[in-house]
Structure 1
Amino acid sequence: MGSAVWLFLLLVSIHIYIIAAATNPDDASALRSLMGEWKNLPSNWGTGDPCDDNWVGIDCSGSRVISLQLPNMKLEGRLTGDVFSLSELQDLDLSYNEGITGSLPSGIANLKKLVNLILVGCGFFGPIPDAIGSLPQLRVLSLNSNGFTGSIPRSIGNLSNLYWLDLADNQLGGEIPVSDGPTTPGLDWLINTKHFHFGKNQISGPIPSKLFSSEMSLIHLLFESNRLSGALPSTLGLVNTLEVIRFDNNSLNGNLPLNLNNLTSVHDLFLSNNKLSGPLPNLAGMTNLNTLYLSNNSFNSTDIPSWFPTLSSLTTLMMEDTQLTGQIPAAFFVLPQLQTVVLKRNNLDGTLDIGPGVSNQLEIIDLQGNSITDFNNTGGPYTFELILVDNPVCRETGSSNTYCTIPPTDSSPLYSTAPMNCQPYSCSYGQSSSPMCRCAYSYTGTLQFRGLFFSDLRSKTPFVSLEQNLTQFFKFPEFPVDSVSLNNPRMDPYQYLLLDLELFPYSQDRFNRTGISKIASAFSSQDYKPPDMYFGPYVFNGHPYDYFSDAPAHSSKSSTGIAIGAAAGASVLFVLLVLAGIYAYRQRKRADRATLESNPFAHWDPKKSSGSIPQLKGARCFSFEELKKYTHNFSDANDVGSGGYGKVYRGTLPAGELVAIKRAQQGSMQGGLEFKTEIELLSRVHHKNVVSLLGFCFERGEQMLIYEYIPNGSLGDSLSGKSGIRLDWNRRLKIALGAARGVAYLHELANPPIIHRDIKSPNILLDERLNAKVADFGLSKPMGDSEKSHVSTQVKGTMGYLDPEYYMTQQLTEKSDVYSFGVLMLEIVTGRRPIERGTYIVREVRTLMDKSKSLYNLQQILDRAIGLGTSPKGLERFVDLAMRCVEESGSARPTMGEVVKEIEVIMQMAGMNPNAESAASSATYEDAAKGADLHPYSDESFAYSGGFPLSANKMEPQ
């Protein structure tokens, strides 16, 4: 390349750099003004151009600053007028900076395009300005955990787009503002808002009946720990979207509304510690109610309500000092999810009868200070804690039974994340050992749950679910997080669950400022959603972080001229290096081309492509040009699906055979792993119930796998109705048997044995005769001779199908596949996804299952397409087998060979021949004949990094 050309390119590069530094002058000026006001700003503030040089916490669109997010940066200063000249700003998040103090200026009204105003856990004080109601696009308003005083601005009612309103944990007073005529706004105008969080303030006066209407879409209504008085208005019963209601720790009086039972979606109802009176309303029909707190009120003396045993989801009943009388029916203790019953200091009498069938989740029954005269335990030995102190059964008989003494406080530690099959190190000062046993400076904070749907803090299940959920959300590369740890669950005096959280950095021993800002923003903006089957609304309190890997932060303005010069010089050097690299690359490419053509793995990179060159048996090597021809240049017409790996195309070989060509995205690291794994494993497995690998292509930077084409999609598509294929009970049994045989072959006959690690309905494909074929081996692991019992490996799989024992121990066994297959069996009989609308299918079946009733009492969740009216033969035995497969302990689960034999017996019970081939082609089905889309390769037919499909990871606002 001539010197004149190099000089021209150099001049052009410098010119491009100069004109690119184009942050709007007003925006740049505003940010530089903040540098004189705020201390501890990130070190690259003042260096170069805010947009072009990626100042920490700054996002731009074109030349305009649209986001200023600096949570948990230890900032100090005030929110000055400079910020309010950022007229295109959409996101402002300064959360967890206690040093940001002063009042919230009325100039906030200038930010007309603001969508998210998030100032959680700062040091603001004084009134919230009325100007806050002049932000027409505002969606999230979080000012909680500050020191704001004065009244709630009624102008907030103007924010018609508001989704999240959190003013909790301040010192706000006055009454709840509602509208007064068509021009004076109030909170009742916020019909689209889903979250009213006003707890821990000093709000007083009655609750206006006008506050609620049937038009509202509220799900969280939190006014706990205020000074509210008067009655709870009956209009509350009109808001049937509500899920969590908290009015505890106020001074409410009068009768409870009789229409409370209209609120059938409510999970948490907290009304304790008020002055409520009158009769208890009938809450029958509130079948989603998990926690009911009514303690310390003055209800009319009444017998135990007959509707108690109808609350089928109840986990916690707290009714101390509520004038209850009579006997507790034994049927109440049979409620399947019941964990805690506290009915202290009432007038309960007669015999306490705890019969058989008591909930296996029950932890405590506390009936101190009643008039119970006898205890009849017809159910045999019990494991829960029973307290009958200060009852006649103990006081008059002098009984020495354990239930007549107050048990000592259990000092055993509660849940704490265990090391992942490793030995923790003794770390340096300030560091802690991660679950992976690596020493690092973790980012810590406290999760505060304002609602929760369980009470047994000794149960591991909710915390394992939360830990799994956190790990999945904060996974690398979306966040610079290696692992998470949970510790010390506890209840505080406000009945909030507190939980200590640690997040550990990925690939180094500390976070930088960008990483901390990104993590903290996910919490403060509520982008992170905990598992809603266990946890309600939450707040995160991030602790100050002292170990940033960045250079020391600015406390005042920097010398920007030197920085700009250095940046320009570095940019020029970078351009020269890139041009030189391009030239070298082209020369190298010419030299390697012949070798590449003769050896399809000549350029296999062990680091990027996950290990040594694949060892193949029988798979054909296709050229890129061949596959290009077979797919008509990878045309859109032959595009049959896509996923995290890449796209899948339908191709036609010269002999007319249809194939599916799975083409990885260019440079996909996950593709390298899947490519090597699948071609090695599938080239050596041959079974009619395992999808066949025909070949591969590894040239021109491409990684492609060629399979037999499976025309009728996945089992998941058919169960969901997407494929148009209707599956009756017999067809489902046939598919279950085929899938089981495929997995059993992998475990017992493949050489070496293979653990699939991602058994799920999208990975069971159906051929033209609806024979099942196990597919997608991207996450599979072979079992070597030294690994007869288990493989210690990083946890991967799909949420909902993942074996909890594998997750806890990181020890992968064949029984992990058995657990996933058990979930698949439950999916087959219910037609539901494993996790659907926040409900886990295994838990739901366990809750409803009653072997004394027809179809085990599962009619309400069984898929009607299987023909419930004909009482499907063998269904109960099929469910029994599924529940054995999902036992918590792997040793209690059957092998896949045993699963195959049991399904064969079930088929014989149903009058079927388990060894007969399917006779009917899917083309005979009505919907298929109408041209339904039967492509097998949807988004969910691929395994993703970390093992969770995109649809399971997507978190919708709640």
Structure 2
Amino acid sequence: MSPEPNSGHFLILTIIFLTIINPSYSLTNTREILNKFKTNLANSNTQVFTTWNANNPICNFTGIVCNEESFVKEIALSEQKLEGTLDFESICDIESLEKISLGANSLHGTISSHLSKCSNLTHLDLGMNLFEGEFVEISSLRKLEFLNLNMSGFSGRFPWKSLEKLTNLTYLSLGDNLFEKTSFPLEILNLYKLEILYLTNSSIEGTIPNEIKNLVSLQRLELSDNFLMGEIPDGITKLASLQILELYDNRISGVFPLGFGQLVMLKYLDVSNNSLEGDVHELRTLTNLESLQLFENKFSGDIPVEFGEFKFLKEFSIYKNKFTGELPAKIGSWADFEFIDVSENMLTGLIPPDMCKNGKFLTFLMLQNNFTGGLPQTYANCSSLKRLRISKNSLSGRVPDGIWSLPDLEMIDLAMNQFEGQVGHNIGEAKFLAQLFISNNRFSGELPEEISKVSSLVEIELMYNQFSGEIPVKIGDLKKLTSFHIEGNFFSSNIPESIGSCVSLSDINLAGNMFTGNIPASFGSLRVLNSLNMSNNKLSGVIPDSLSSLKLSLIDLSNNMLIGRVPESLLAEADDGSFSGNPGLCADGSRGTRRCSPVSRGSGSGLGVAKYCFIAGALVLVLSVSCFFLIRMRYKDRENLINRNFSWHMKQFHIITFSEGEIVQALKQENLIGKGGSGNVYKVELGCGKKLAVKHMLKPTIDSASDQKSYPSSATILPKRKSRCPEYDAEVATLSSIRHVNVVKLYCSITSEDSNLLVYEYMPNGSLWDRLHTYQKIEMDWNVRYEIAVGAAKGLEYLHHGCERPVIHRDVKSSNILLDEEMKPKIADFGLAKIVQTNKVMDSTHLIAGTYGYIAPEYGYTQKVTEKSDIYSFGVVLMELVTGKKPVQPEFGENKDIVSWVHDEMKSKGTVIGLVDSYISDESKEDAAKVLTIAIRCTMRFPAQRPSMRMVVHLLEQVEPHSPFDIVIDNDIQIVKD
């Protein structure tokens, strides 16, 4: 007789049976675990979890992958804008779980030791997040094949020992974290199956062990941006499968080891910024190379001719070495070649002609060598080219006409050669040209009028050539122009008043030409002008009083024929020779001129002065009559503006106690406080004492006769068709519904047939830019700067997360952060703002937006602006607050901004504190340095690596001055390589 079955055994068998025939029975706990997982991420993009509900099978949840038995096999939620913490104590109770993919989110907090319970994991991706603290011991995860912790925010000591038992790993990425310094972790050398090893910026020091040869399956080895020294070990030459080898930004020395040429599978080789030396002939056999980066080393000798036969080569950079000889004639002629930089060597011979053969060439850098001959005609049709820099060589001949009009070209740098001929009249077609550097050549002829059509121009340097004729009258159309250097030429005639319309000009040098006539009074309207040199010309007349309003660090008007008194305000920053060589000038201080005094009768000098005074008197009489009529006309114009626009329409967004008439009547010249690309700004003080700021934006209209856009004079009424002002529309649409203490308040809009007025609260302390960088600069202690940072962050957080429809500002910068009477910040100027569509999808825009120095790097290749672009720009503002530097300064170096400067300085000085503004007290420098680390996170190269604005506010609040919040502030913090 069989024994009676045990009831406990029977229950177990029943559960097993139910599990097999009804998987949902065993998934009950899984649903609870996933609900808890979702709860911890409550502030995230809720669209991800719309399918995570009780009516839906777990296997239909977004990001959940099940196996054939309907058990959860994978959580796949990378790049989903998740914010919150992870609870591995619950997650690892899902025994069927094999893969966790949560990379490129904004997850934070620490990782608990319960992760070690996920013993069936084969794939773990937590990369590009914002975790804190040390990573945990994971030696129990024996099945793990893929581990990615890259740029996750981990710090402290990494448990290298735990890797020793993870012998199934094929992918290991631990780079760009804040680990403690360590020698090369020998535990990794036992992971024979490794195909990918990424340890860039992992604080590894010492030498690369020769035993690296054990990793025979390696296809990708990246050890860049560490503290490695010594030579490249022979063992690397045994890695026959290697396709990518990156060792840049270390202290590696010596030569390429014998046998390095055996790595014939290599596609990408980057050993830049080390101390390597010798020739590079060992690389002649690497015919599969697509990218070869050898720059900033001590290499010498010639460039092997075999490099010209590399049929896959797209990038070639060897700048700052000691190479000699000629470049191979065929280099770059086979593949879709994109980039060459051989600058700062001792190369000779001709420029290779066919680097743009396949029409993909972007960057052409060969400056500071000894190249001869001309610029090959083949590049005249290189429509893909963005940067052309061949200055400081011995090149000659005429520049091919097509060069001047290349459609995507952003920089032309031909300076310090022997080029001749004229600037092509087709230059007006170069719509993206920002920098034109052709100084110290033999260019001649007139500057073509078409240059005024290149509205993107920021810098023009034409000095020391043989140009003649007049400056084009329409030069004032260049609204972005900041630097205009044409000294040492033969320009003549009058200096056009229109230069005063170049509202961004900070540096003007017209010295050493043949200019005649008066100094344009319009120069006085250039509010950001910092340096003005018009010496050694034939200028006459008096120095305009309008120049008195300028705050110049340099002025030189010497050696002209100027007369009268030097305005007192110009003497403060002038050198002794600033006004010398003008016999008719006098000043109340020497400055190289005679002292002003009463004219003595009967003296020869008195007769001379009398002559000048007679001329000056005649001029004053003429000017007085002219001014009378001008004032009368201006009064008439103003009367027309007020009277004819009888149909002013006011739209209120807040309770107000003033009328449109009070606002319009106050739009006087004496109330003008600022000019911008979208209009003038006036300060209006009401009868009750309340102050307002009014932006006057003229509507772009279409003349019915010509069908062309124009901005009509206020004194002229023409038949028009209705048209829109996109900046006005954007600003009203954005600000009319926003109510936040850190966003500037828009009281109302007032519109008429040809004008738009926006009435704001008045901000008496101007902009953050003014307080940090201009003559209005004040010494702000760290507490004030910190409060500005937090307040501005909260304003942007509201725009991104608090509005019914999120707003992308698209022009975040310090000049758009205004300060009230208590120095509280408010986000302003929403003329470029983009409101996210009602479907809640964070769209992007292809319109040009932003300001140079603040623009996120992805805009260069996608031309898209998202909320992460705002975050990058805000990171730049934080860097300004901490360092006191402008976003772009000459001291940063060629093609570098504050972001790259911070990275370079941290590498060289080994500290963040050393970058803090000297105006900040020593006891506050550590607090400021903590904010700089947050700025670095905001300015990560890839958008997914940047925190959300909500997370930025959270991080800033954690580093309140004198708080105990512990954050690493030494040189372990790095920026991803550009």
TM-score (norm 2): 0.42
Larger Rg: 2
| Higher RCO (CA 8 Å, separation ≥ 6 residues) | 1
